[in-house]
Amino acid sequence: MGYNKSMLKSFSYRLYPTAEQQSLLARTFGSVRFVYNRLLEYRNKAYERRKESRNYYDCNAFLRKLKDIYPWLRDVNSQSLQMANKNLDTAFRNFFRNPGKTGYPTFKKRCARQSFQCPQNVKVDYKAATVYLPKIGWIDCVFHRRFKGDVKTVTVVLEPSGKYYVRILVENGICKAGTDRKLPTSLDDVLGIDMGVKTLAVCSDGTEYQNNRHLANSERKLKVLQRRVARKKKGSSNRKKAIKKLARCHEKIRNQRDDTIEKTTADIVNKNHVAVCVEDLNTKGMMHNHRLAKAISDASFSRFLARLEQKCIEHGTLFIKVPRFYASSKLCSNCGYIYKDLTLSEREWKCPVCNVVHDRDRNGSVNIQKKGYEMMTIPVDGGKSTPVKTNMVDDRANAPKKPNVEKAGIVLENTTQEAPCL
């Protein structure tokens, strides 16, 4: 149950670039997208013509050739272009690692949400409230909090609403989790949580967190804005304005949902329990239920559980997942009787053995609490730990000594192409 003491944490800040800086950011967005697409084309044609694969180092050599053909690529931060190559290589690795689950890398189009990464040479001035980006300069920024730790990657994002953000990924050592964490000594040290659509989370101590249904409450407004977009002429300035208003509405819904999740998970972790137990939900499988898919997506179970786990790690709290097939709602928490005929519409049921009336969510949270406590106190295999097999792979062994750009037989066309603009 151990966690690493260092963890990655992202901080997002709002940027306010000038008109000139917005032009430079737009050129960077377009150049990064252009390089990504040309490198993907390079890999595809190499395999189609010669049945040969191209790796990260081959694409780096091809990127240098692209800069000679398109001089305007040198006006952009070179490391941002290299990160496009790295992201493409990661996409191919994920595809070959999970061919059935991860799709083949596709070309990127100029969409409403755009981004680029800066791995180095980014400076932050808290007093002046500015951020320095290579080849762009100092940009006004709003710091709502300071970060501590080593900066790993900086990502600049343009949201569909027209707002600019800088997201700083930091590796810090503030995690309290480690080998010195204690196990619960009683059932009161464990908190069980049952998640649902009607009530977002019901805790074993009786606390309930309501589902605010942010998407459902804004559906009427979304319908009006979507109708306005549909009635505007394609390509017109009025259509662009209507699309931006629609994007702002979606952004507000997302911010409301994130705010609810952050406050709820923070309140749960601040209860200072030794362990927090939840059900291992198959959210992807639950989305196949077309009657509940929208409500489940609106509640964002995956996001909730991910943030709860992260905060438990930060505070040194054990985070336990109870098996998903454990009948938490059908099991009587008082006597252990299993009510097999329990339906989803039944919010309460009476145990025929002990005559106790159960609220299905509260009863489920108590059973999750007991099951999680049982999992932590009963040793597995007589208390012996089972070693985990891991594959040690050194990618440098597969790297070619001399990457060959011309080997694929690709001809760079349209050498007079201008710099991409947004």
CA atoms within a 13 Å half-sphere pointing along the CA-CB vector of 384: 4
Q: Are the CB atoms for 207 and 190 separated by under 8 Å?
A: no
- Using an 8 Å Cβ cutoff, are 156 and 15 in contact? yes
Q: What share of the chain is helix, strand, coil (3-state, %, to 5)?
A: 40, 20, 40
DSSP 338: B
Q: How far apart are CA 106 and CA 36, in angstroms?
A: 10
> Are residues 53 and 47 in contact, defined by beta-carbon separation less than 8 angstroms?
yes
Give the distance from CA 80 to its chain's centroid.
Answer: 21
- Please state, in angstroms and rounded to a whole number, the distance separating the CA atoms of residues 123 and 136: 12
Which pair of tokens denotes residue 291?
């009657």
**Distance in angstroms (rounded) separating the CA atoms of residues 417 and 415:** 6
DSSP conformation class of 331 = B
**So which residues are the catalytic ones?**
194, 279, 361
What whole-number distance in Å separates Cα of residue 407 and Cα of residue 51?
A: 11
**Contact by Cβ (8 Å): 210, 199:** yes
Residue 348 C-alpha from the chain's centroid? 36
Coil, strand or helix: which one is 221? helix
**DSSP notation for 346-371:** -SEEE-TTT--EEEHHHHHHHHHHHH
Token couple for 285: 């499988």
Nearest in space to 158 (alpha carbons), one of 273, 254, 60, 14: 14
Angle between helices 78-97 and 19-50 in degrees, nearest 10: 40
The position carrying tokens 């006006």 is 75
